Amino acid sequence: MEVILKEDVNKLGHRGDVVKVADGYGRNYLLPQKLAIEATQANKAVIDQMKASAVRKSAKEKVEAEAFSTQLSEVELVFERKVGENDHLFGSVTSGDIAHELEAKGYTIDRRKIALDEPLKSLGEYHVPVKLHREITSHVKVTVKSDQPESETVPAAAV
């Protein structure tokens, strides 16, 4: 089945591309989610208009993403978590946690745009990439620290 993408789809193509996909993927996901339209002769005539519109829209989004990237690069998030032996966290800090904390600071970002390969499971300072546009990636400084003061972390046997 050939479809025309109305939005960028990861690992498939960009807005305005004509791509060949499995029938089920097209019928059950791309078309109902309005991510694509079927590539009929009538729709192919509209592709040129869509591509011109997509180029304009992408350029506008890129400018907005660049401005947002400069704001976001100055943001610093601090997470306090319970810590076990060897500074290993009970639980972890996930992309959802980071998105929630960014939203609390006034930045609305979808958690799927936070490119965290795996959750943060140890104390420290991290620079987490946030994909704002297909060409623009910003980094957010994330610090994970213990929720207990340093004096309380002395083992009970030493007292």
Asked if residue 68 is part of any domain, the answer here is no
Quick one: 112 and 143 in the same domain? yes
**Per-position pLDDT tens, the chain of length 159:** 999 888 888 889 887 788 999 999 999 999 999 999 998 888 877 777 777 777 888 888 888 888 888 888 888 989 888 888 777 788 888 889 999 999 998 888 888 888 888 888 888 899 999 888 888 888 899 998 888 766 444 454 444
Quick one: 9 and 51 in the same domain? yes
pLDDT at 31: 92
Instruction: Single out the residue of 128, 91, 123, 89 nearest to residue 107, CA to CA.
Output: 128
Structural domain total, the chain: 2
Asked if residue 67 is part of any domain, the answer here is no
Quick one: 48 and 102 in the same domain? no
Quick one: 153 and 80 in the same domain? yes
pTM of the model: 0.63
Quick one: 78 and 154 in the same domain? yes
Angle, CA 18 vertex, CA 13 and CA 46 arms, to 5°: 120
pLDDT at 155: 52
pLDDT at 137: 87
pLDDT at 159: 47
pLDDT at 121: 86
- The CATH code of the domain that includes 38 is 3.40.5.10
Quick one: 55 and 30 in the same domain? yes
Helix (H, G, I), strand (E, B) or coil at 30: helix
Asked if residue 42 is part of any domain, the answer here is yes
> Long-range contact list for 70-76, CB < 8 A, 24+ apart?
71/107, 72/107, 72/130, 72/132, 72/138, 72/140, 73/138, 73/139, 73/140, 75/102, 75/105, 75/107, 75/140, 75/141, 76/140, 76/141, 76/142, 76/143
User: Range of 19's domain?
Assistant: 2-61
Asked if residue 66 is part of any domain, the answer here is no
Quick one: 110 and 139 in the same domain? yes
